[in-house]
Amino acid sequence: MFGYVRLIFTVMIVAGIAGAGMYVMKLRADNAILKANQIALEQSVTKQQELLEKQKADFKAITESNQQLNKLINTLKKDMDALDKRFNKGKRDVGKIGVEKPKVLERILNKGADNAARCIELASGAEHTEKELKATKKSQINPECPDLANPSYVPYE
């Protein structure tokens, strides 16, 4: 009987050692998996941070472009209002003026068309001429779009 007890204790000790060995091996395998997961997680966090930085930079660029566009729109609205005021003065009969003074009207309309065409060129991105940049007097400016065509001109109101 003492031999059975010894055999049972031996089997229990061997089983305990084998179980502890298997448990340690399982812990090592779990540790390796956790390390791989941690590396993947750190890489994804880094990628997310890079994406967020890029999105912030894109948002800033879009905001700046939007501000420039709003500034241009406000300038164009102001110019449009100024043109509207110029053409809607009291009772004006262009036909009557054309009959009475055709050469004067032709000269005025041609000059206005030339000035308007230059305004469209500038709004489309054309470079300013030296004459436009140096214009400071009312007689030197493009009256169709003074803010756009003559950045140095400051009207006296």
Residue 156 above 70 pLDDT?
no
Average pLDDT, the chain: 87
Q: By mean pLDDT, which of 2-6, 26-30, 134-138, 153-157 is the weakest?
A: 153-157
Are 121 and 106 within 8 A, CB to CB?
Answer: no
**pTM for this entry:** 0.45
Q: By mean pLDDT, which of 9-18, 72-81, 137-146 is the weakest?
A: 137-146
Residue 61 above 90 pLDDT?
yes
Q: By mean pLDDT, which of 35-49, 64-78, 109-123 is the weakest?
A: 109-123
Q: According to the model, what pLDDT value does residue 105 have?
A: 85
Query: How far apart are alpha carbons 34 and 38 in whole angstroms?
Result: 6
Residue 133 CB partners (closer than 8 Å, separation 6+): 150, 151, 152
Q: How far is CA 77 from CA 22, 25, 73, 120, in A?
A: 80, 77, 6, 14
Residue 10 above 70 pLDDT?
yes
Q: By mean pLDDT, which of 1-5, 83-87, 143-147 is the weakest?
A: 83-87
Residue 111 above 60 pLDDT?
yes
